[in-house]
Structure 1
């Protein structure tokens, strides 16, 4: 089992509000680079979506539950059919997006018990919490040539770490960089 964190980030490390849906002052930075920069399986998850489980926070899940169920095609079908765990203290119904279930109990304990690969999409707080417990095995970061100047950063508050670069691939205006932690 591996924990894989996938994020859109700016050159200065901001991961918050890449699509502008949160209405932040600097939001929407990823989509200013055109639809090809964010369309499809940019994080190269492929079969991991069939065998793993997505781990989403409430905010990310609510956004995705509005966007993805009505879409079809190779990537949307895989994403819609994937198993999803939702970490939330306030939601009690996750039926709006198929194959979603509420994470029961402590986040860290649940991830440690999980036998499938865990894919954290967005959900900065969850990514930070898991990194703080040395549970993240891999980061797949789609880095956009934007300096946001402000916003929540993926690595703020996480312990220092030396990562090993596995690969880089250009994806439109962005670069997908994959790093291993162990």
Structure 2
């Protein structure tokens, strides 16, 4: 295996571990926001696409005659379980989950962009295409979440007992 192929496999394993982590976090988030369709619906669609990307990354690992890293995946899964456990004790699960989803999506973008670029330089168009699709979905989810910041704040304030949540300021007032 050449040096660039080793790098590519390393990025594939990293992407797989991150996907496993994000899937676990999304599962917890979907439980928390189940009663909020404006958030649950896009997160649910994104979770479905993320599972598909995980399978595609696994297929690319197998094409390179390797498999996901159990150590990386176990670490990511442990972190996700820890996050989920901590999330239950927070008083503001919806607001924090939306924030955490936004961060996770941007980690996926970073992992996908690195994977795509290494794959292109290694001449692996199939892996580059998988990474590009992963990035496209993550960029779209980032926009979806960005469009819901005011809703996240409103839900957060309500969870903290604010009865009459003031509306967000108008754009020209900001």
Q: Shorter-chain TM-score: which interval?
A: under 0.3
Which one scores higher on RCO, CA 8 angstroms, separation ≥ 6? 1
Structure with the higher helix share, 1 or 2: 2
The structure in which a higher percent of residues are strand is 1
Q: What TM-score does the superposition give when structure 2 sets the normalisation length?
A: 0.27
Give the TM-score, by structure 1 length: 0.26
